[in-house]
């Protein structure tokens, strides 16, 4: 009986160590992906660290429910302010990377110095010319269609 208990105890210890080792591999993959993303966007990853935030369930692109690991990190643009970000990991495969709204540097001539401004996103301007459209004009271009109730 004591050999069964000691075997169970050793098995439990081995499983805990294996899960910690696996979680460390996921954290390292998340850190590598965050570094790559920050470099691509000219951001500085602060402390070169991602912190475990949450373990949850989510659906992947194929509609399969999977366990996700969410890690938080901090980054900066100007070196003065810290911004928060998070990365979702599907095992060792990166998911979505979310960043707080932040300033983006605009490159100018050296004599003008560096200026920071908010860069408009693609979603900010849905109109092809970037012009404001009045509601009356929009209604003329998009006539109302009646939706018939089914049944």
Question: pLDDT 10s per residue in the chain (151 long)?
Answer: 678 889 999 999 999 999 999 989 999 999 999 999 999 988 999 988 999 999 999 888 888 899 999 999 999 988 888 999 999 999 888 889 999 988 776 655 555 555 555 555 544 445 556 677 788 887 888 877 665 666 5
Q: What is the pLDDT of residue 137?
A: 82
User: What residues contact 35, with CB distance under 8 A and at least 6 apart?
Assistant: 45, 48
Q: What is the pLDDT of residue 123?
A: 47
Q: What is the pLDDT of residue 113?
A: 57
User: Which helix (DSSP H) or strand (DSSP E) does residue 28 occupy?
Assistant: helix 2-40
Residue keyed to tokens 């050999």:
3
Q: How far apart are the C-alpha atoms of 88 and 5, rounded to whole Å? A: 38
Residue 119, CA distances (Å) to 11, 60, 77, 80 in order = 54, 30, 13, 19
Q: What is the pLDDT of residue 126?
A: 54
Q: What is the pLDDT of residue 150?
A: 63
Contact 49, 31 (CB under 8 A): yes
For residue 40, report the phi and psi dihedrals to the nearest 5 degrees: -60, -35
Q: What SS3 state is found at 34?
A: helix
Q: What is the pLDDT of residue 42?
A: 87
Q: What is the pLDDT of residue 70?
A: 95
Q: What is the pLDDT of residue 115?
A: 56
């Amino acid at each position: 009986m004591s050999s069964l208990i000691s075997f169970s105890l050793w098995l439990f210890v081995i499983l805990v160590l294996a899960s910690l080792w696996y979680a460390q591999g996921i954290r390292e993959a998340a850190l590598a992906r965050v570094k790559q993303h920050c470099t691509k966007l000219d951001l500085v990853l602060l402390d070169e660290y991602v912190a475990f935030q949450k373990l949850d369930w989510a659906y992947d692109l194929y509609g399969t429910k999977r366990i996700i690991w969410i890690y938080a990190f901090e980054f900066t643009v100007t070196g003065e302010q810290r911004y928060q970000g998070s990365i979702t990991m599907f095992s060792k495969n990166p998911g979505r990377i979310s960043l707080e709204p932040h300033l983006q540097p605009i490159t100018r001539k050296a004599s003008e110095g560096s200026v920071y401004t908010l860069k408009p996103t693609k979603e900010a301007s849905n109109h092809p010319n970037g012009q404001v459209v009045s509601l009356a004009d929009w209604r003329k271009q998009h006539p109302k269609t009646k939706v018939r109730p089914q049944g």
